Chain A
Amino acid sequence: MNKKNISFNKFYKLFNILSLILIIISLFLLLVKGLNYGVDFKGGTLIELRTTDNQITISKLRKSLLGMNLGDVNVKKFGNENDFLIKFEKKNNTKNDFIGKIKNDLSKSIGNGFNFRRVENVGPKVSSELLKSGIIAIALSLAAMLLYIWIRFEWQFSLGAIIALFHDIIITLGAFSLFNLEINLSIVAAVLTIVGYSMNDSVVIFDRVRENLLKFADIKIFELTNISINETLSRTIITSITTLLALLSIYFFGGENLKGFSLAMILGVIFGTYSSIYIANPILVYLRVSQKTILKEDNN
């Protein structure tokens, strides 16, 4: 077998600086540009519309919707030529049947060659609750991970893994902000899965670091993390590849509605793999983890 020996540790500093820059850019984007919240979190109405009449164009749709006094209407193509996504954020939709009214008004102006495939209408109260519970869910899972790793390893490992997690989440959200991709309920699910995956990756390498710490008392942690990364490298790569194969298959064949969800996870898996090597491990180095760190714990 060819024993891999790549000097990952030579680039710890370089990639840490790169990550720091990416995080700063992402935070800047999140603060200044913000996230493109979908109806789940912002409230409003979403209609997926399919036309059977080729005469209906995006501009015709927009024009007739603008005439209905719905406020800021956003119309875009959705997947193929005949599918459109309509979004608007009309406040005070107190009437229960306003969607029926839109349907009537639309058929008056563009004919009957269309149908509503999907309607989502979320009130402001519900959307703020959904946002709150989404944030709580992510925070809770981070806390639970921190606790679990703390129990299973030592606090240095826990800190390393959590910082790697924050890194992955912040950069993924930064990418969503940069490309103006929509944040909805399923993105929260994707973020939580990223949390699990990234943790999974860090844990496997940490497990090896701990084993090697016990085996080699005289090797410095700087060298030791590199050995451990190399020893687990083929697993890291193979698992990333199979997971990405599955996710790419969802992205390309799973339909329009799973695109954002799978994209978030694809980004998350890439960043997660990178961060478990270049964030989680350098932190062990910076915190001067040694054989004593583990043995001390065992004596207690």
Chain B
Amino acid sequence: MLYFSKIRVISICIFTLIFVYFASSNFFKVDDNFFNKQINLGLDLQGGSYLLLEIDNKPVITQKLQNTVSILRKYFKNENIKYKNLLLKDNDTILFVIDKNQLQIVKEKFENKDSNINPYFPKYKSHEFNLEIIDNQFILKLSKYGLIEIKNSSLDQALEIVRRRIDEVGTNEPNILKRGNDRILVELPGLDDPMRIKNLLGKTANLTFRFITQNTEETFGSEKILFEDNSEEAMVSKRIILSGDNILDAKPRMDNQNNETVVSFSLDRVGSKRFAKATTSGIGKRLAIILDGKIVSAPVIRSAIVGGSGQISGDFTFQSATDLALLLRSGALPAPLKIIEERTVGPDLGQDSINAGIIALLIGFLLVIIFMFFKYKIFGLIANITLLINLFLLVGILTLFEATLTLPGIAGIILTVGMAVDANVLIFERIKEESINEKNKIIAFDAGYVKSKTAILDANITTLIAAIILFLMGSGPVKGFSLTLCVGIFTTLFSVYFIARLLTSLYVTKNRDKENLI
């Protein structure tokens, strides 16, 4: 049907104008509250850093199992249960042997849904540990869901710490997201040198204060730890006086006495008490300050420190002291993070890409409309007007959804320009064929539209399928490409079946008596 009712014409015009308005808000700063959305630029266009971090959960799991072993030891002791050979094997299995007559009690303890040793997760319908009993031997392994629960909670903690550290550095609008159950994605727009953030995220910042001891037979045990400059080792007690958790605030400071940079810190209530007690009884001893498994410094305690504050000296520059203070304020990561993927684009390259993309778009668009005009004359003009409106619709929709435009996304727009004329070409060619046998132009045009419909739909749906799969499977920039391709298909169909058809019908009804109309 070539006929368009007045209402339809008006609604098509209004619809088109709305999206042209949406699209234009990207180019002119319109100061109104009605519509102030813009297309986001991807990191490859505005410059910035993309980091994918992975948590190494091994230490968390080991810690969890070690805790369970000590909980078990306490439980057996309290309940007077005779046990043998309680040990942690291969860092993933807890083994112990229970006397035959007490076996049932322990078994029930593990299978009870209110068990505090083997918690039950109703949402997974599973306990934290899987229990296997062979003879008197208990074999305890983390269940699938127990493992997921541990990973999730360590990911949540890590996410929080990563967020705090990045916020402290103060970059603009960082994007920090969970990926799977052991990864964190960090997007830092506008940051062209992520070195400092990478350094900050690479540190666990596990801080402990422990005494250096001489005798190896202390009740808590002791271990050898290297100094940070790898120069010497010291024997350090395993008893933790203070940890990073007790620190409320930390700042870099110039120490006026010996003109060096230090990090001063203040402690919470519990920390202050413990620090006061330890320093009172330990005058003359050396207190090692250990960060991520290395001794930063080990000053001799000269007097009791009761004020709940202190300072860490070491071989700091002002920058490294600032960073350590930042790490102490934001807290320790539950486990080390590793950067497994990094993509950084400098802002000048991003701008170059935008410029090149716009030039390619303009030239591509120009070539296509010149070609179409020479090929189809007045109908070429119709196809070209349609194409221009199609572009506005495409940009308008991307703006409405505040979509992210990437470099391949711009390529997707240019490709849409090339492929969008296809539908009009299919229709025009069909009309030409129909005109050979049908002298009534209006009927010939009608037939052209009707008969080309299945081919156009099939052809566009196949492209759409490819684009949707690309959107679901692709990552980052490639997703941007498939998005523009998808949206481009819909705007093409709309512009061809409403706008081009409207223009065609206006022209044909006025010039129905002309020979060789197309």
The chain A residues found within 8 Å of chain B, CB to CB, are 1, 48, 94-97, 99-100, 115-123, 125-126, 130, 133-134, 136-137, 140-141, 144-145, 148-149, 152, 185-186, 188-189, 192-193, 195-197, 199-201, 203-204, 207-208, 211, 231-232, 234-235, 238-239, 241-250, 252-255, 257-258, 261-262, 265
Query: Could you say which of A140, A231, A248 contacts B473, with CB atoms under 8 Å apart?
Result: A140
Across-interface contacts of B435 in A (CB, < 8 A)? 1
A48-B192 Cα distance, complex, nearest whole Å: 13
> Which residues of B are found within 8 Å of A235, using beta-carbon distances?
422, 425-426, 429
Q: A239-B419, A246-B417 are in contact. Are A261 and B411 (CB under 8 A)?
A: yes
Q: Which residues of B contact A242 (CB under 8 A)?
A: 368, 371-372, 418-419, 421-422, 425
Q: Are B462 and A238 in contact (CB under 8 A)?
A: no
Contacts of A148 in B (CB 8 A): 461-462, 465
Residue in A95, A189, A245 whose CB lies within 8 Å of B474: A189
Instruction: Give residues of chain B (421-471) contacting chain A, Cβ–Cβ below 8 Å.
Output: 421-422, 425-426, 429, 432-433, 435-436, 451, 454-455, 458-467, 469-470
With contacts A120-B342, A123-B341 taken as known, whether A97 is within 8 angstroms of B198 at the C-beta atoms is yes
Asked whether A238 and B425 contact (CB < 8 A) given A197-B419, A197-B463, A255-B352, the answer is yes
B462 with A253: CB separation less than 8 A = no
In the bound complex, what is the Cα–Cα distance between A203 and B343 (angstroms)? 39
B407:A258 contact, CB within 8 angstroms: yes
State whether B341 touches A249 (Cβ < 8 A): no
- Residues in A with CB closer than 8 Å to B415 are 193, 243, 246-247, 250, 265
Are A249 and B473 closer than 8 Å at their CB atoms? no
Report if A121-B372 is in contact (Cβ < 8 Å); known contacts: A96-B198, A189-B408, A203-B458: no
Query: Is the pair A141, B469 in contact by a Cβ cutoff of 8 Å?
Result: yes
Chain B residues whose CB sits within 8 angstroms of the CB of A252 once the complex forms? 360
Task: Report chain A residues within 8 Å CB of B357.
Answer: 254-255
Sample (13) of A-B pairs whose CB atoms are under 8 Å apart: A120-B342, A122-B340, A123-B340, A126-B52, A185-B476, A189-B408, A197-B419, A204-B455, A207-B455, A238-B421, A246-B368, A246-B419, A261-B411
Chain B residues positioned under 8 Å from A188 (CB to CB): 474, 478
* Distance between A216 CB and nearest chain B CB, rounded to angstroms: 15
> Which A residues lie within 8 Å of B348 (CB)?
117
Residues of B within 8 A of A (CB): 52, 54, 195, 198-199, 201-202, 338-346, 348-349, 352-353, 356-357, 359-361, 363-364, 367-368, 371-372, 375, 407-408, 410-411, 414-415, 417-419, 421-422, 425-426, 429, 432-433, 435-436, 451, 454-455, 458-467, 469-470, 472-478, 481-482, 485
Residue picked from A126, A231, A244, A262, most chain B C-beta under 10 Å: A126
Neighbour of B470 across the interface among A192, A199, A211, CB < 8 A = A192
**B372 and A117 within 8 A (CB):** no
Question: What CA separation (Å) do A111 and B433 show in the bound complex?
Answer: 69
Chain B residue contacts of A1, Cβ below 8 A: 432, 435-436
Q: Which of B429, B462, B485 is within 8 Å of A234, CB to CB? A: B429
Most buried by B among A1, A100, A211, A246: A246
Q: Are B201 and A96 in contact (CB under 8 A)?
A: yes
Given contacts A117-B348, A123-B341, A144-B465, contact A249 B414 (CB under 8 A): yes
**Given contacts A118-B344, A207-B455, A243-B415, are A249 and B367 in contact (CB under 8 A)?**
yes
